[in-house]
Chains A and B, each alone.
Chain A
């Protein structure tokens, strides 16, 4: 069975500093990988996804994630965070044969001035 591990439950960072949110997955088959963002009392929004091709994927608001098959990782990075990036971030995986997503437990990003 697939699983997703987000080791950091909370990551505090100062505004304009870089950040990395870690995600590791376990799967014996090819996968699709996703990062979702959730603002307080709202649903989840897709931030970026890896389906195939280039292992580096980017979002429109400056986040990027790199698929590393050998390390089974899909870490999320941003070179300079804003206060507005404060939210909870979920990593998710699905295998290429069936669409049911498996989510990690989430990482709360806290950006302070």
Chain B
């Protein structure tokens, strides 16, 4: 079955450590996205990529970094510069000439102790 796989599902880290969240898709979609979800704030866009080797900052990119070396993969690194990294992180993808409909992974919950 085609879909988006995020790992790990749950992650605990100490303050000051960088962590990388994995996102892999086999939908053959060109565009991929990372969102952060906090209670009562909905989804906020961190980074997005419309094509391999290219990505753009979203609304809350500070303290995060991404890479897009392969079409299938769009990992997100939460750096020590992110002041409040504890959140639920969602990866998504979309068809390049579609209406913007997003297909989501199951999410990764990061807790910084």
Contacts and interface: CB of A to CB of B under 8 A. Distances in A.
B100 A101 contact: yes
Given A44-B102, A49-B101, A90 B31 contact: no
Q: Which of B99, B103, B109 neighbours the largest number of chain A CB atoms within 10 Å of its CB?
A: B99
Q: Is the interface of A mostly helix, strand, loop or mixed?
A: loop
A90 B43 contact: yes
Interface string B13-53: 00000000000000000010000000011110100100000
Interface residues of B, number: 24
B90 A34 contact: no
A42 B100 contact: no
Contact of A43 (B42, B99, B101, B104): B104
Q: Which of B41, B42, B99, B100 neighbours the largest number of chain A CB atoms within 10 Å of its CB?
A: B100
Interface string A56-79: 000000000000000000000000
B105 interface: yes
A45 interface: yes
Nearest to B95: A99
B96 to A, nearest CB: 8
A90 B42 contact: yes
Contact of B107 (A9, A43, A98): A43
Contacts of B45: 100
B104 A100 contact: no
Q: Which of A9, A90, A96, A103 neighbours the largest number of chain B CB atoms within 10 Å of its CB?
A: A103
A99 B98 contact: yes
